[in-house]
Structure 1
Amino acid sequence: MKDIQTFERCLKDFEYFKDFQGFLDPRDNGQKRRIPLKRKLVRFNPLNDLNENQFRIKYRFSKESLRRIIEIVRDDLEIEYYEPLKREQVPIDLQILSAIRLWGGTEHPKLTAMAHGVSLRTLAKITRRVASVLASKASRYIRMPATLSEKERIMCSFQAIANMPQVIGALLQTTVRFLPENSGSYLSEDDPDGESTYPAQSNEELHLQIVCDAAHKIRDLDIRLIDEHSMASDAEMFALSKIRDRFEQNEFRGRILLGSEIVRCSSSLYTPVRFPRNQSEELYNHAHSTTYASARKCLSLLMSRFGVLGTEILGSQSSAKQTITALSILHNMAMEWADPSIDSELHVSPYKSTFFNAMTNVSKSGEDNNRKQFIKTHFASQ
């Protein structure tokens, strides 16, 4: 008898629960309207929900490499940007994944935001945070060789390419556009959720100077704003850089950088001979172009992995610099780990000679003599 009473009470409890789920609405003609129970938000997890090939296409890294990046950055994000946990807060690992996918430039930013369940405005905040944390690690991941053994190792790797001695780095320059926040806001003020995009009204450019090694890792990075009113040549940009001062102070005594023809030849930066007059200069030019291809390949790999560098970076000048630094660090991680997501054998066409601008690229006689002596010592005709 007690069991029957207990069963009846259970049935009444179920009826009470059903009554709690629904109620009578007079606008529904006496019909019962069901109130759907709020479900817990299940976020997209690309590490679990995408296969390896799909993941590499979207995130420009293998899953193993992305997991390593997440572990390197996670603690700094949690410490630097800690806030009391809020309902449906974007997890740290998903913040890192969404930022890297946006930088990959494989799709419209709105699609990237939708794929990770955030608004464009939230995605913009996330990318700035991730870039800032990554950029803070620049001294660890972007640095010229300091010890004698490091210098010798890099020199040997360059010499193994085309028998060009004494080379410790290859220098390459390009520009990257960015959209300042105060010039045609990317996100409308009338759209607080950041669901609409507006074309840029104006943008500015940053001059990017890279020094890389033979393994296509970035060893030095110099980023400067290009002033429209005082446009400086690439040679003048090099003269302003810290790496040039370090060579002038004999930090890398007896070692040289390789540069393209658009940069002025100097005692520390050797460029191709514009009009080779003998076999020695032709041999030098051939060795120079083959060795210098490392720099062009480095830039090609960087641009292939992070398409945003070929379009424009959204944010202030400071934010754009942090983003470029962060992408250079990610590039070095990919090179160090031999990440297979971007073809490491990406074809780079042979170096092609271009004419100097006679007004800005005239070498000093003393600097020319340094190169002449170098050619005579190492490339004299047999």
Structure 2
Amino acid sequence: MDPLLGELTDDEDFLELVRRHERLRRPQTVRFRPNNFEKWNDVDFKKRFRLAKPIVNYLIEEISDLIASKTNKNHALTPADMVFITVRFLATGCFLQSVDDISGVDKSTMSRVITKVTRAIASLSKDFIKMPMGVEDRNSKAQGFYNICRFPRCIGAVDCTHVKIQSPGGANAENYRNRKGFFSFNVQAICDSDLKISNIVCRWPGSTHDSMIFRNSRVKAEFENGVYGNNLLLGDSGYGVKPYLITPLANPTTRAENLFNEAQIRTRNPIERCFGVLKRRFPILATGIRLNVDKVEAIVVSATVLHNIACHFADPTPLVTDEIDGSQSGNKHWK
């Protein structure tokens, strides 16, 4: 048995071992890469990649210049190849099996491709993840929330969700263990009434309280500085009340107080639905990310960008089905 096998901790370690051994093997055999737009009908394409064909095609066009291979070697991966590898990974979370099955690429290439593409997609966040800055835009967002339960001036609902990761190891590993007992990032998001995410923060370990993340966020400072005028956010009781952050009343006693809480809870409900939609579209965020922690933020932000693009195109959220090949076996560690 190779002594290195005893040191493996995650998929990336495995890939490094593969790369070392490949130097001693025969020259690489190039494998056929299918055209996934032609291979799958619209229904099966959506099941496998969690996005409709026009959205994936749009994504390829948006980031091709950012990810195109600089080599002139024959059989270099095309931007389309790299995008399909990455969106399939986001759909399954299976790093070593199902992604390779549909792309005809050796496993030692996967980590580099996924890192490159998720960072490229995440770089689009400045265009696709943004708070409403102009008065007209803020009024439009506020009207959307007002239509839910007549709660005025709200331009966003804020909350946090845990994205499961493997143990990062090292002296600070326990900082990532959340109150439910598993390792995670605690990710803060703000969404509008249409479930589009307008702000995302993914850099805090799972043990961090929601209120701590908000206190240290840029968006909190922007509200403090009056960037959003007299508009406000809605949050749950885990947050402290601010003039711009409204939470439920702690001990409602009168009918008016109970009606206020009901309106507040119903109006902030989109953020809970948003997290559900995001994780159903990209199950890796629910089943777990088995990569180094320095790559988690790009994966989460890239999934958020794709979620917003899907919302823009009115692409229905796909159902979670057995068609996500490999997700059962590839993610059994997270059950």
**How many angstroms does 1:100 deviate by?**
0.4
TM-score when scaled to structure 2?
0.78
Q: Which has the higher contact order (CA 8 A, sep 6+)?
A: 2
**Which of 291, 308, 324 in structure 1 is aligned with 2:267?**
291
Q: Which amino acid aligns with 1:47?
A: F
Q: For 2:302, what is the secondary structure of its paired residue? A: helix
CA distance in 2, matches of 1:135, 1:64: 19
Q: Which amino acid aligns with 1:44?
A: P
The reply to whether residue 208 of structure 1 matches residue 187 of structure 2 is yes
**For 1:322-370, what per-residue CA distance to the aligned partner results, in whole angstroms no more than 9, with x for missing partners?**
1111111000000011013537xxxxxxxxxxxxxxxxxxxxxxxxxxx
The reply to whether residue 315 of structure 1 matches residue 291 of structure 2 is yes
**How many angstroms does 1:93 deviate by?**
0.2
Query: Given that residues 155 and 165 in structure 1 are in contact (C-alpha distance below 8 angstroms), is that contact kept between their aligned partners in structure 2?
Result: yes
Size of the aligned set, in residue pairs, is 282
Q: Note closer, same or farther for the CA distance 1:175–1:341 as it changes in structure 2 (3 Å cut).
A: closer
CA distance in 2, matches of 1:217, 1:145: 12
Query: Given that residues 132 and 326 in structure 1 are in contact (C-alpha distance below 8 angstroms), is that contact kept between their aligned partners in structure 2?
Result: yes
**How many angstroms does 1:244 deviate by?**
0.9
**How many angstroms does 1:222 deviate by?**
1.2
CA distance in 2, matches of 1:94, 1:83: 15
**Which of 327, 346, 352 in structure 1 is aligned with 2:303?**
327
Q: Note closer, same or farther for the CA distance 1:43–1:181 as it changes in structure 2 (3 Å cut).
A: farther
CA distance in 2, matches of 1:341, 1:119: 31
Q: If you compute each CA radius of gyration, which structure gives the higher value, 1 or 2?
A: 1
TM-score when scaled to structure 1?
0.69
**How many angstroms does 1:279 deviate by?**
1.2
**How many angstroms does 1:87 deviate by?**
2.9
Q: Which amino acid aligns with 2:202?
A: I
Query: Given that residues 58 and 104 in structure 1 are in contact (C-alpha distance below 8 angstroms), is that contact kept between their aligned partners in structure 2?
Result: yes
The reply to whether residue 274 of structure 1 matches residue 250 of structure 2 is yes
Q: For 1:154, what is the secondary structure of its paired residue? A: helix
Q: Which amino acid aligns with 1:111?
A: S
CA distance in 2, matches of 1:287, 1:163: 7
Q: Note closer, same or farther for the CA distance 1:106–1:206 as it changes in structure 2 (3 Å cut).
A: closer
The reply to whether residue 59 of structure 1 matches residue 38 of structure 2 is no
Q: Note closer, same or farther for the CA distance 1:179–1:85 as it changes in structure 2 (3 Å cut).
A: farther
Q: Which amino acid aligns with 2:52?
A: S
**How many angstroms does 1:221 deviate by?**
0.9
Matches within 5 A, 1:9-88: 41-78=31-68, 82-88=69-75
CA distance in 1, matches of 2:317, 2:142: 28
CA distance in 2, matches of 1:268, 1:279: 24
Q: For 1:115, what is the secondary structure of its paired residue? A: helix
Q: Note closer, same or farther for the CA distance 1:341–1:273 as it changes in structure 2 (3 Å cut).
A: closer
**Which of 160, 165, 182 in structure 1 is aligned with 2:147?**
160
The reply to whether residue 178 of structure 1 matches residue 165 of structure 2 is yes
**How many angstroms does 1:56 deviate by?**
0.6
**How many angstroms does 1:205 deviate by?**
2.6
**Which of 115, 118, 121 in structure 1 is aligned with 2:108?**
121
Q: Note closer, same or farther for the CA distance 1:212–1:86 as it changes in structure 2 (3 Å cut).
A: same
CA distance in 2, matches of 1:127, 1:232: 28
The reply to whether residue 302 of structure 1 matches residue 289 of structure 2 is no
**Which of 67, 75, 83 in structure 2 is aligned with 1:96?**
83
User: Which deviates more from structure 2 when the two are superposed, residues 153-162 or residues 110-119?
Assistant: 110-119
Q: Note closer, same or farther for the CA distance 1:107–1:177 as it changes in structure 2 (3 Å cut).
A: closer
Residue in 2 that maps onto 1:217: 196
**Which of 198, 202, 209 in structure 2 is aligned with 1:233?**
209
**How many angstroms does 1:281 deviate by?**
1.1
**How many angstroms does 1:178 deviate by?**
3.0
**Runs of 5+ consecutive residues of structure 2 not aligned to the other structure:** 1-28, 171-181, 320-335
Query: Given that residues 186 and 202 in structure 2 are in contact (C-alpha distance below 8 angstroms), is that contact kept between their aligned partners in structure 1?
Result: yes
Q: Note closer, same or farther for the CA distance 1:181–1:295 as it changes in structure 2 (3 Å cut).
A: closer
Q: Note closer, same or farther for the CA distance 1:273–1:221 as it changes in structure 2 (3 Å cut).
A: same
**Which of 124, 132, 136 in structure 2 is aligned with 1:137?**
124
**Which of 328, 336, 339 in structure 1 is aligned with 2:312?**
336
Q: Note closer, same or farther for the CA distance 1:288–1:282 as it changes in structure 2 (3 Å cut).
A: same
Residue in 1 that maps onto 2:327: none
**How many angstroms does 1:41 deviate by?**
4.7
Q: For 1:313, what is the secondary structure of its paired residue? A: coil
**Runs of 5+ consecutive residues of structure 1 not aligned to the other structure:** 1-38, 184-202, 344-382
User: Which deviates more from structure 2 when the two are superposed, residues 253-262 or residues 104-113?
Assistant: 104-113
**How many angstroms does 1:106 deviate by?**
7.1
Query: Given that residues 180 and 316 in structure 1 are in contact (C-alpha distance below 8 angstroms), is that contact kept between their aligned partners in structure 2?
Result: no
Work out the percentage of aligned pairs sharing the same amino acid. 23
Query: Given that residues 133 and 228 in structure 2 are in contact (C-alpha distance below 8 angstroms), is that contact kept between their aligned partners in structure 1?
Result: no
Query: Given that residues 204 and 213 in structure 2 are in contact (C-alpha distance below 8 angstroms), is that contact kept between their aligned partners in structure 1?
Result: no
